[in-house]
């Protein structure tokens, strides 16, 4: 699917909502993901991010906004759309943007990040969002041709501490590095004030997941406050 430069520009300063449920969870159904996507679009999400090929397919038919798709395979190491095969399946499912692991770690299929991005561009019309964990990742991902840079993996790769909220320091560092790609703030943005702070730190747009679409986690936050 094609996301025109104008449609990408329209996401500037906007909220993107990640709608994901995890294996074995009650809401882990593609049609529920799509309904959740509809609900967040009603609330003002300018784009959505969904995990899984079927979830991308269902969500594409449910909402008009751009869909960022990914395929998580496993939960450690390189697991966010880890190979070109995964990425092309997500693109074929209709994602406007394919989010892939954008770190400097070795990939399971042995391709470099640049080869992976080139393969996605050659075989689909999708843009590529590189989910990065550090400034060095972001620089390498920009060099590799990624269209968007995300801070998704900050705090999950060992390069950066896992901050309580968003890693605003990393956001500011990447923003001031002038990589020339939209910088997407993602990861542990749990309040509207933190979302605002992420934009103020230089993000182009902000992705919020858990705090909007994961009731099990949110319930736990409230339960813990009462304990």
Ligand X SMILES: CC(=O)N[C@H](C=O)[C@@H](O)[C@H](O)[C@H](O)COP(=O)(O)O
* Interacting residue ranges for ligand X, rule: CB under 6 A: 18, 20, 70, 80, 152-153, 156, 186-189, 207-211
Given the complex with ligand X, which of 55 and 186 has the nearer CB atom? 186
CB of 210 to ligand X, least distance (A): 3
Those residues with Cβ within 8 angstroms of residue 190's Cβ, 6 or more apart along the chain or in another chain: 165, 208, 210, 211
**Please, which residue, 6 or 134, has the CB nearer to ligand X?**
134
Q: To the nearest whole angstrom, how small is the minimum distance from the Cβ of residue 207 to ligand X?
A: 6
- Residue-level length of the chain: 227
Apex 148 CA angle, 12 and 56, nearest 5 = 90
We find the least distance from the C-beta atom of residue 166 to ligand X, in angstroms, to be 8
> Min. distance of Cβ 190 from ligand X in angstroms?
7
Nearer of residues 84 and 185 to ligand X, judged by Cβ: 185
Encode burial over 95-131: b for 16+ CB neighbours within 10 A, e otherwise: bbbbbbbbbbbebbeebebeebbbbbeeebebbbbbb
Residue 6 CB, shortest distance to ligand X, in Å, is 26
* Best CA proximity match to 97, nearest among 46, 136, 137: 46
- Residue 178 corresponds to which tokens in the numbers above? 């002038």
Nearer to ligand X, 5 or 162 (CB): 162
Q: What minimum distance in Å lies between the beta carbon of 39 and ligand X?
A: 16
- Minimum CB separation of residue 209 from ligand X in Å reads 3
Q: Which lies closer to ligand X via its Cβ, residue 147 or residue 186?
A: 186
What is the DSSP-derived secondary structure letter of residue 80?
B
Distances in whole angstroms, Cα of residue 56 to Cα of each of 48, 61, 121, 126, 210: 10, 9, 18, 13, 18
Q: What is the largest CA-CA distance in the chain?
A: 53
Question: Which CB, 62 or 208, lies closer to ligand X?
Answer: 208
Q: Are 151 and 102 in contact (CB under 8 A)?
A: no
Residue nearest to ligand X (CB): 209
Taking alpha carbons only, the member of 26, 12, 21, 7 closest to residue 67 is: 7
Q: Which is nearer to ligand X, 28 or 178 (CB)?
A: 28
């Amino acid at each position: 699917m094609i996301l025109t430069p104008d449609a990408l520009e329209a996401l500037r300063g906007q909220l993107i909502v990640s709608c994901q449920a995890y294996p074995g969870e009650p809401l882990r159904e593609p049609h529920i993901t799509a309904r959740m996507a509809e609900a967040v679009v009603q609330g003002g999400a300018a784009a959505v991010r969904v995990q899984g090929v079927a979830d991308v397919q269902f969500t594409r038919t449910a909402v008009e906004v751009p869909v960022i798709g990914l395929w998580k395979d496993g939960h450690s190491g390189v697991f966010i759309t880890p190979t070109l095969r995964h990425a092309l399946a997500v693109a074929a499912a209709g994602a406007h943007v394919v989010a892939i692991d954008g770190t400097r770690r070795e990939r399971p299929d042995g391709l470099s990040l640049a080869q992976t991005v080139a393969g996605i561009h050659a075989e689909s019309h999708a843009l590529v969002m590189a989910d990065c964990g550090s400034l060095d990742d972001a620089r390498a991902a920009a060099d590799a041709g990624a269209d968007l840079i995300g801070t998704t993996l900050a705090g999950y790769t060992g390069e950066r501490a896992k901050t309580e909220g968003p890693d605003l320091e990393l956001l500011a560092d990447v923003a001031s590095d002038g990589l020339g790609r939209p910088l997407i703030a993602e990861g542990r943005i749990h309040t509207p004030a933190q979302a605002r702070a992420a934009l103020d730190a230089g993000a182009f747009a902000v992705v919020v997941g858990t705090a909007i679409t994961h009731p099990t986690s949110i319930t736990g936050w409230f339960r813990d406050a009462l304990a």
